[in-house]
Structure 1
Amino acid sequence: MIGIMKRDMNMWLRLTIVVAMLAGTGLILHSRGKAEVVPAAEPLGSFPSEIAQWQGATEVIPQSVLEVLGSGDFLDRIYSRSPNEPPVDLFIAYFPSQRNGSSIHSPQNCLPGNGWSPIELARVVLPGPNQTPMNVNRYVLAKDADRLLVYYWYQEHGRVVASEYWAKFYLVADSIRINRSDGALIRVMTAVGHDKGPASTDQRSLEFIQNLLPFLGKFIPG
């Protein structure tokens, strides 16, 4: 019990430090009188609906969810390649600026609920663009006998980050260094097939991610 309390206190301490840093950054930039740099990006609505063998169908994000997400550009699209396997759900949230109160929400806060509970969370290394290693999160949720496998990461200014806290740190640093606060969350989610199990689900997700990566650059500025 004491260990859990200490862990929660450490989490809140880190979060408090990040919030204080963000507030301090805003004051510094305001005192400089510089307009924020907001790089050009293609709208997510024009994201390819065909990725390798996958064909995508866009999901309508409810207005109530958009209000929670804040000011940004969002995509929720279901990609399928065979009727014999579960589809892949791609969600991208891109924020041109995170200084007006809109910021990236961690899937660990958004996904649990409605009977779904997290049962696994790990960091894994995947081959990124140009085969550069990138750290991402592998997250598994359960509801009765059903399982969801989720891969997600934060992407900003040419950098891929798994940790929410490091993403906030780099946000502060880049706000001061290059006067930018844009950033994105990429989430790839699919159901674990009851017949083929987790290994097949991982393979499907990773194949989709490898085909997805080359398209992201036009929509998430480096």
Structure 2
Amino acid sequence: MVNSKYKFWILIGILLAGGLFINWFEQRGEASVTRKPLAELPAEIGEWKQKGNDIRFSEQTESVLNATEYVNRYYVKDGRLVDFYIGYYQSQKGGATYHSPQNCLPGAGWEMRSPELVGITTPSGKTFTANRYIVENGKYKQVMVYWYQGRGRTIASEYYDKIYTVWDSVSRRRSDGAMVRVMTAVGSSEDEATKVAVDISAQVGDQLSEFLPE
């Protein structure tokens, strides 16, 4: 009987401590970070040059994305066009977070196939891994490369990124991050289109720390 009461009060103590911790965690603010706005991303990245103005989504799409800031633009090199997008979230504690292409594209009618992980090496020698898919919608067929970046980490896996986001939120008071996505038409060769997407991903990889702080 005494032992049961002892266990009961231990359980109550654990629950109270857990409740206090959760309340403290929710109430404390996130650490501030200094970064450049995505609109200042260079119009020239290596040999890639911006084509046209930045693209703005409809209010409905922006509401669904719920990003703190985003940039969507075209870059061109040797006549090859790529669609480049970054969606940045200053905080993911309130439920706002990047939308995985694996969830969004199928809902918009795109079929995703041939998943691969591709290694990317920037001009400075930095290396990271990204996801690569072939995506199709009717007559449109494109290569898509994307990854998650923030707080000094560049990660292909959505699940590992979420784990690190929780860890950094507790240990560093930060949950900021972004998804970076590149798409280009397949044309006559999936392999060549993949090389194109990897090339601009490598070139931009050295530029992003100013916009997605470590």
Secondary structure, counterpart of 1:123 in structure 2: strand
Asked if structure 1 preserves the Cα contact closer than 8 Å seen for 2:67 and 2:87, the reply is: no
- How many angstroms apart in 2 are the aligned matches of 1:48 and 1:74? 14
- How many angstroms apart in 2 are the aligned matches of 1:61 and 1:148? 20
State the match for 2:176 in structure 1: 182
Asked if structure 2 preserves the Cα contact closer than 8 Å seen for 1:37 and 1:179, the reply is: yes
Secondary structure, counterpart of 1:40 in structure 2: coil
State the match for 1:161 in structure 2: 155
Unpaired segments of 5 or more residues in structure 2? 1-17
Unpaired segments of 5 or more residues in structure 1? 1-24
Asked if structure 2 preserves the Cα contact closer than 8 Å seen for 1:152 and 1:186, the reply is: yes
- How many angstroms apart in 2 are the aligned matches of 1:198 and 1:26? 53
Query: Counterparts of 1:203-222 in structure 2 under 5 Å?
Result: 203-222=195-214
- How many angstroms apart in 2 are the aligned matches of 1:214 and 1:177? 26
Amino acid at match of 1:140: I
Secondary structure, counterpart of 2:106 in structure 1: coil
Identity %: 34
- How many angstroms apart in 1 are the aligned matches of 2:20 and 2:47? 48
State the match for 2:4 in structure 1: none
Count of matched residue pairs: 194
State the match for 2:116 in structure 1: 122
Asked if structure 1 preserves the Cα contact closer than 8 Å seen for 2:124 and 2:206, the reply is: no
Asked if structure 2 preserves the Cα contact closer than 8 Å seen for 1:38 and 1:97, the reply is: no
CA deviations on 1:185-205 (whole Å, 9 max, x unpaired) are 000111101xx3112111211
State the match for 1:75 in structure 2: 71
Cα separation, partners in 2 of 1:158 and 1:128, compared to 1, 3 Å: farther
Amino acid at match of 2:56: V
Asked if structure 2 preserves the Cα contact closer than 8 Å seen for 1:97 and 1:182, the reply is: yes
Cα separation, partners in 2 of 1:45 and 1:30, compared to 1, 3 Å: farther
- 1:30 positional shift: 4.0
Q: 1:171 aligns with which of 153, 156, 165?
A: 165
Amino acid at match of 1:215: Q
- How many angstroms apart in 2 are the aligned matches of 1:178 and 1:217? 17
State the match for 1:64 in structure 2: 60
CA deviations on 1:21-77 (whole Å, 9 max, x unpaired) are xxxx99746415532113111111111112122221311221111100114110101
CA RMSD, Structure 1 to Structure 2 (Å): 2.2
Cα separation, partners in 2 of 1:189 and 1:26, compared to 1, 3 Å: farther
Query: Counterparts of 1:38-117 in structure 2 under 5 Å?
Result: 38-56=32-50, 57=52, 58-83=54-79, 85=80, 87-117=81-111
- How many angstroms apart in 1 are the aligned matches of 2:174 and 2:116? 29
State the match for 2:24 in structure 1: 31
- How many angstroms apart in 1 are the aligned matches of 2:198 and 2:93? 33
Cα separation, partners in 2 of 1:129 and 1:162, compared to 1, 3 Å: farther
- TM-score for both structures, normalised by structure 2: 0.82
In our comparison, the structure showing a higher alpha carbon Rg is: 2
